[in-house]
Amino acid sequence: MVKHVVMWKLAEGLDRSEQAKAFREQANALLSTIDGVLKVELWEGYKAQPIDHDLALYVEFASREAEAGYRNHPKHVQFKEFIKGKALERVCIDTEV
C-alpha cells in the first residue's frame, strides 16, 4: 500500500473553510473514482498554533503501480487544474507500507 500526503498553503484572501469544502468535494468526486485509490481524505488545519499549511490531502493506493497510474490520470489532472491559483505552496510525501 502507498500513502500519499499533499499539503497546500492557500493564496491570501481565500476563506480556508470554504476552500476546504470545495477541495473536499472535488477530491471525492474525482480522485476517489480512480482505479487503485483506496481512500481519499481532505483535512483542514486549524490555527490554534502557528501552522505552515492550510489544507492536506491524504490518499491511499493499492500499490506503487496504482499511484503511478494516478499521476497522469485525467481526473487527477482535472483536480490539479481546479487547485491552480488557489495555492501558494505545495509539499508532498509518498511512502510505501
How many structural domains comprise the chain?
1
Kindly report whether the global pTM for this prediction surpasses the value 0.85. yes
- Per-residue pLDDT tens digits for 25-46: 999 999 999 999 999 999 988 7
- For residues 25 and 44, is the Cβ–Cβ distance under 8 A? no
Full domain range(s) for residue 47: 2-96
CATH code, domain with 9: 3.30.70.100
Does residue 50 have a pLDDT over 80? no
